[in-house]
Amino acid sequence: MSKIAASEFTPVASQPRRRLAVLLGRPFAGVAILLLFYIALIIVFSFLSPFFFSIRNMLAIGTNVAFIGLMAAAGTPLIIAGGLDLSVAAVAGLVGVVIALLNAAGFYVWFAVIVALLLGVLVGLVNGLF
């Protein structure tokens, strides 16, 4: 009896599968996958609703993305430095509530914004010290 090497029974990846593995191993692979995912979402949502590509909807999406982008920009240096601050969204919510409460109490909106931002800075300073 002849001995058969174990390598003869190992499955060999096909050429397209090898190319895909090489592409997924590149640094841009995560960005490319996210881009494909977003394109697929846009296609699905455009078929589900005729209002998806309306100016009003695009402005609403842009407004919401800008707010999230500002919070992400504040947290990115912390994550790069090895820290993690989960309080950014909570402090942003607190600032929004304080602005709404002060405005409802009759204060000018710019005064409410300044007071709320100072409160946000104070809470962020306390969080940073801890």
Q: What is the mean pLDDT of residues 91-100?
A: 93
The yes-or-no verdict on residue 8 having pLDDT over 60 is no
116 vs 100: CA distance, rounded Å: 10
Which of the two residues, 56 and 12, has the higher pLDDT score? 56
The yes-or-no verdict on residue 123 having pLDDT over 90 is yes
Helix runs in 1-130, H state only? 15-24, 29-48, 55-80, 88-104, 109-129
- pTM of the predicted protein model: 0.49
68 vs 13: CA distance, rounded Å: 42
68 vs 72: CA distance, rounded Å: 6
Token pair 């005064």 is found at: 111
pLDDT at 12: 53
Q: What is the mean pLDDT of residues 121-127?
A: 91
pLDDT at 6: 53
Q: Do 81 and 123 touch, CB atoms closer than 8 A?
A: no
* Tens digits of residue pLDDT in 10-48: 555 577 777 766 766 766 777 778 888 989 998 999 899
